[in-house]
Amino acid sequence: MGIFERFLGGGHHRGGGGHHGRKGYQDSGHGYGYGGPPPRDSGIACPNCRAINGPQARFCQACGASTVPAACTQCGTAMQPGAKFCGQCGKAAGQ
């Protein structure tokens, strides 16, 4: 079998042992690198660079940005990263 037939899926031999024919391929996390997607409770994503940090991290280990949401100085509501105004009272961020 030629290389084009292999890529186009024709004539898998050796028991269907082509790349997509292996048992467990669908559950292997393929597309997420070797270890699969990170577990949901493994930590928090940095709002600046999206690096995964420990669940109690206050600053990103990759870029140093704060992982704790800023609070509005007027009403104390947690503000989303990059927000220019408070979603609760409308006060400008950083004032």
The residues spanned by each domain of the chain are 1-37
The answer for 10, left when phi > 0, alpha when psi is -120 to 50, beta otherwise, is beta
User: Could you tell me the pLDDT band of residue 38, with boundaries at 50, 70 and 90?
Assistant: low
pLDDT in tens, 71-83: 999 999 998 877 8
Query: How big is the CA angle at 59 (ends 61 and 69), to the nearest 5 degrees?
Result: 140
Across the chain, mean pLDDT equals 75
Dist CA 27 CA 82 (whole Å): 36
Structure tokens given for 69: 């949401």
Report whether pLDDT(50) > 70: yes
Average pLDDT on 84-91 reads 93
- Is residue 59 a contact partner of residue 66, using CB atoms and an 8 Å limit? yes
Whole-number pLDDT of residue 20: 52
**How many C-beta neighbours within 10 Å does residue 79 have?**
19
**Predicted confidence (pLDDT) per residue in 2-32, tens digit:** 666 666 665 555 554 455 555 544 544 455 5
